[in-house]
Homo-oligomer: A and B are copies of this chain.
Amino acid sequence: MPRGAQVIYPKDLAVLVLWGDVYPGATVLEAGTGSGALTMTLLRAVGPAGRVISYEIREDFARQAMRNLERFFGGADTLTLRAQDIYDGIPDSPVDRLFLDLPEPWRVAPHAAAALRPGGVWVSYVPTVPQAQQTVETLRAHGGFANLETIEALIRPWNIEGQSVRPAHRMVAHTGFITTARRVQGG
């Protein structure tokens, strides 16, 4: 029985969109669709003049994501959902921004270099250090990407109730590492 796609936390959605420099009117490609949480955030950020293309090879995830999008968003003309495996290539190009929420983003590097317009931005999101490491190494070796940066986003919630003013006792300590890079000439 397939388990549901991982949800991306708001803290990461916030940073993915701002670090990814998504703007109204942009053409954004995302893989995979997962639960559709990032898809919805991207649709909002590109607005009615933009376009979000989302690849998802798992039919169950794609169906669930469409249901979520209908429910919370009322559907969107600006969304294209495809059953495309991005490891095989990116038929939709050029794109302004690329978001990768999948296990081996480094395998997408050559396709990304072909699909991203100059100045376009790569954003990938992985849970472990070896994945972040292999992503950075592949992008650096490729030569067609600059301004590589890897970060973690953390939110510390506070309790403020009368004199009980203090950080919450527990917090989400880790979800994923976000790597961003800009497509430049070369490579």
List A residues at the B interface (Cβ < 8 Å). Answer: 10-11, 13-15, 17-19, 23-25, 41, 44-45, 47-49, 127-133, 136-137, 148-158, 160, 163-175, 177
Mostly helix, strand, loop or mixed at chain A's interface?
A: mixed
> Quick one: which of B15, B44, B136, B157 contacts A155, CB cutoff 8 A?
B15
* A153 near B48: Cβ-Cβ < 8 Å: no
Across-interface contacts of A168 in B (CB, < 8 A): 173-174
Query: Given contacts A17-B18, A47-B47, A154-B155, could you give 17 more A-B pairs where the C-beta distance is less than 8 Å?
Result: A10-B19, A15-B155, A18-B41, A23-B44, A24-B47, A48-B49, A129-B129, A129-B133, A130-B163, A133-B160, A150-B157, A151-B156, A152-B156, A153-B153, A153-B155, A158-B177, A166-B174
Pairs across A and B, CB under 8 Å, 18 listed:
A14-B17, A14-B19, A14-B153, A15-B15, A15-B155, A45-B45, A128-B164, A128-B165, A129-B165, A132-B158, A151-B155, A151-B156, A152-B155, A157-B173, A167-B173, A169-B174, A169-B175, A170-B171
